[in-house]
Amino acid sequence: MRRLLLHPHPRRAAKTRDVGWPAASACVVAIPVTPGQPDLPGVSEEAKAVADCYPGSVPLVGADATHTAVASALSRAVIAHFACHGVNAPDDPSRSGLALADGTLLSVAELSVQDLEGHAFLAYLSACDTARGGTVLTDEAITLCAGLVLAGFRHAVGTLWPVDDAAATFLARRFHQALARRLSRGEAVEPARMLNQLAEWVSGGWLEQPSRWATLIHFGG
């Protein structure tokens, strides 16, 4: 967080219409099978639903989602979406990360020193525990989402707990459809408000199951 306080992003308050359209440089990652982790059979469908929202984007699915490929895609991405396993290290949150197809981890520590500022707008982490911090310094929000904001993304969306495949796909599709529609019209976008509206809307159908819709949280300004 010290880096963010000393060197705040000059474009943090920029209008969303500055992002431009079409957002051809969307990084969409989906990993159905990850070494040492349970399979995620629904993430391929989720990736397709998200990629369809952004013209020109090509999902990195399965074995294609290597550390090198993901890092390269992030270096030019306006929108990033991850449908994969998140690894939470509560005793040392900087070691938390996103598990990639080649068995490597895209960690908070690595993300926090990237310089994606100037093109990165929003990252959506459809993975477990990506908004959870550590147990030692509970007042310091060192999370995957915070790492992406430090790296230059203006906004990040993550999860406080795991969510099943069907609900994750449904939520991601609705969010990105709304975001893409607003971007295509050149409208200013407030992702935090969009996320709140999505939760209010879907809670009516899952009123007795808040674990399916209340997990998403927004980071950024």
**Where are the chain's structural domains?**
2-220
Question: From CA 189, how far away is CA 124, in angstroms rounded?
Answer: 15
CA atoms within 13 A on the CB side of 44: 8
- Cβ–Cβ under 8 Å, residues 183 and 19: yes
pTM over 0.75: yes
CATH ID of 2-220, from 3.40.720.10, 3.40.50.1460, 3.40.50.1220, 3.10.20.30: 3.40.50.1460
Question: From CA 12, how far away is CA 93, in angstroms rounded?
Answer: 25
Apex CA 198: angle with CA 193 and CA 199, to 5°? Answer: 100
Question: From CA 198, how far away is CA 214, in angstroms rounded?
Answer: 10
Sheet architecture: strand order including 216-220:
60-61, 26-30, 79-83, 122-126, 155-159, 216-220
pLDDT tens string, the chain, 221 residues long: the values are 444 444 444 444 344 445 655 544 799 999 999 888 889 999 999 999 999 999 888 899 999 999 999 999 999 899 999 999 988 877 787 888 899 999 999 998 898 888 898 889 999 999 875 655 544 444 456 778 888 888 899 999 988 888 788 888 999 999 999 999 998 888 888 999 999 998 888 877 676 777 777 888 899 87
Tell me the residue type at 66.
T
